[in-house]
Copies of this chain bind each other. A is one copy, B any other.
Amino acid sequence: MTKPLVGILDPFFFEVVEEIRRDLRVLFGTANPMTLAISGTGTAGMETAVSNFSGPGTKLAVFVSGFFGDRIAEMGRRHGASVVRCEKPWGETFTEAEASEFLDRERPQLVAFVHAETSTGALQPPLAITRPARALGALVIADCVTSLGGVPIDADASGIDIAYSCSQKGLSCPPGLSPITVSPRAAEHLKNRDNPVWYLDLKLISDYYDAPHKYHHTAPISTFYALREGLAAIMDEGAARRYARHQRCHQEFVRRIEALGLSMHVAPGRRITTLNTVRVPAGADDLEIRKRLLSGHGIEIAGGFGPLAGKIFRIGLMGPLATDENIELFFSAFSQCLAHAATSV
């Protein structure tokens, strides 16, 4: 990020952009030409997806079992879509039978789900949603904010039309950019409409990133440099090796959590490997434990919110943090803090 800035139409900048687009295709698991980074954070990516593909006259079905599914539904409402929600308790995922029953009844043109729900730690198998959605001819949006670079997405094989993410989680870069990918059949839908949101209009943004590069906005050049380097580091390790490392660390993490007598919030097989959610033991004060962990050991973990406030810890183990040494460090500190909490109760 300390490298000299170049102009927003400088050929060097577009070299950087093309490297980013190439590597993002690998991590999204797609051949989509329309794969790029929006100049905003993950929420801007979500709104890019919602505002470019829904509006008055669109029926949007959203699968909600956490905070971010709810946010998609709210955005759809603001953009004038007719929104229907399929809801389950926070932390659960949807089966294909559940999705099918809901979608066949509602018959939406657009379907959205959260692949990796940051608020709960649950990973939604994409095909359970995309198969019944595509059978209806609907386009499918997947929120991959917490999954990109952490776990495989395989957008093309999974039948996802539009997927968006952020730069600061699985990609382990500074925040400020939101990678997005759009399938050719979804891109077709853009031809016939202007997005009401100029800043997030995918047609205009594509005209900027694709030759001959028509000016649209001033891209945050330094943040693109950071994303390029972060992606290069991921490619050096190899995406498959990175996912396997996350998986291995996750398994070891779960083993040690259960050895402490604690339990994971999400059912096995539905857990995000890079974001572990652990149930707060009965009687323990989660804020007290988190504060002690931060002040005494320099380790920051998150708590739950919404219906999960005070009920779970959210513990990231992603990118450079997912190592055996860090697991050791974490459990050494965490078990001390838990013991202290038990004593004080």
Q: Which residues does A use to contact B, with CB under 8 Å?
A: 1-2, 5, 7-8, 39-44, 47, 51, 71, 74-75, 78-80, 166, 168, 174-176, 194-200, 216-223, 226, 300
- Number of this chain's copies in the complex: 2
Contact B174 A5 (CB under 8 A): yes
Distance between Cα atoms of A25 and B169 in the complex (Å) = 33
For A80, give the chain B residue with the smallest CB separation.
B196
Distance between Cα atoms of A18 and B74 in the complex (Å) = 29
Residues in B neighbouring A75, C-beta threshold 8 A:
198
Considering the complex of A and B, which 9 residue pairs feature the smallest CB-CB distances, nearest first? Answer: A176-B220, A43-B217, A174-B222, A1-B1, A41-B218, A175-B218, A47-B199, A78-B196, A75-B198
Contact B221 A174 (CB under 8 A): yes
Distance between Cα atoms of A226 and B1 in the complex (Å) = 10
Mind listing 9 A-B residue pairs with CB under 8 Å? Answer: A1-B222, A8-B175, A78-B195, A78-B198, A168-B218, A175-B220, A175-B221, A220-B220, A223-B223
Contact A216 B1 (CB under 8 A): no
For A169, give the chain B residue with the smallest CB separation.
B218
Contact A222 B223 (CB under 8 A): yes
Residues in B neighbouring A199, C-beta threshold 8 A:
40, 43-44, 47, 200
With A40-B44, A47-B197 known, 16 other A-B pairs at CB within 8 A are: A1-B1, A1-B174, A5-B174, A7-B300, A39-B40, A39-B41, A41-B217, A42-B218, A75-B198, A78-B198, A79-B196, A174-B221, A175-B218, A175-B222, A176-B176, A220-B220
Residues in B neighbouring A220, C-beta threshold 8 A:
41, 174-176, 220, 223
Contact B40 A175 (CB under 8 A): no
CB distance from A223 to the nearest CB of B (A): 6
CB distance from A62 to the nearest CB of B (A): 14
Distance between Cα atoms of A195 and B218 in the complex (Å) = 23
CB distance from A255 to the nearest CB of B (A): 28
Contact A43 B218 (CB under 8 A): yes
With A194-B78, A197-B78 known as contacts, the answer to whether A222 contacts B176 (CB < 8 A) is: yes
